[in-house]
Amino acid sequence: MLQRLPPRRLAELRRMETPAAAPLFWLLAARYPRTIGQRPDEWAAVIRILAMLTGRGGPAHRGFLHSAEHRWGEVLCDGGDRTWPYSAGFRPVISEQRLAHLIAARGEQRRGLLERIARVIARTRRHGVNVVDVARTLLDPGSDVGRFLAGPYYRRLDVAVRKREAGHEGEEE
């Protein structure tokens, strides 16, 4: 639904500080009473972050937001750019230290970190992201966030390291 919103309505969700600040949020809560309607304060943060990750411009010009195969941990590494590391240097978009802080954070601190990270990812994202992973990072604090974020992050980083090493084989240093 976020992908089909006009830019003005999507911006309303991006700026939302509390659910009361965005009438559109309550439409979503009414449409999804068993999820958003049950936990509006927590879902408001998720929807704000997903709105940040949704492409700019009109609905016809936005890429898909959700892609089940692009895990959130992967996107934290490559920024949502499948050509990474060749397109933007070898450093992950979100550093290993920032990833560790996100995993260790709880509650409001995790929400704040995730919002800052979403702003960074929104500038580089070229493909969809698993929005279930994004939501789970905030909605299920008892889950093993480290496993479902760090696993895909380090697998993506390892592939890039191996490709880089393979490209440098035989060169003298």
Residue extents of the structural domains in the chain: 1-63, 66-173
Encoded tokens for 52: 């940040």
Length of the chain: 173
Q: What is the DSSP letter of 127?
A: S
Residue 129, beta-bridge partner list: 66
For the residues 148-162, what does the mean pLDDT come to? 92
Asked if residues 63 and 128 have their Cβ atoms less than 8 Å apart, the reply is: yes
Asked if residues 7 and 58 have their Cβ atoms less than 8 Å apart, the reply is: yes
Give residue 85's Cα distance to chain centre. Answer: 18
Q: Is residue 79 helix, strand or coil?
A: coil
Strand segments (E) across the chain = none
Amino acid code (one letter) for 61: H
Asked if residues 74 and 155 have their Cβ atoms less than 8 Å apart, the reply is: yes
- What would the pLDDT profile of 129-150 be if each residue is shown by its tens digit? 999 999 999 998 767 888 889 9
- What would the pLDDT profile of 85-103 be if each residue is shown by its tens digit? 876 668 899 999 999 999 9
End-to-end CA, the chain: 52
Secondary structure of 111-149 in the HEC alphabet?
HHHHHHHHHHHHHHCCCCECHHHHHHHHHCCCCCHHHHH
Q: What are phi and psi of 66, to 5 degrees?
A: -95, 135
For the residues 54-61, what does the mean pLDDT come to? 86
Tell whether the model's pLDDT for residue 60 goes beyond 90: no
Q: How far apart are CA 170 and CA 173, in angstroms?
A: 9
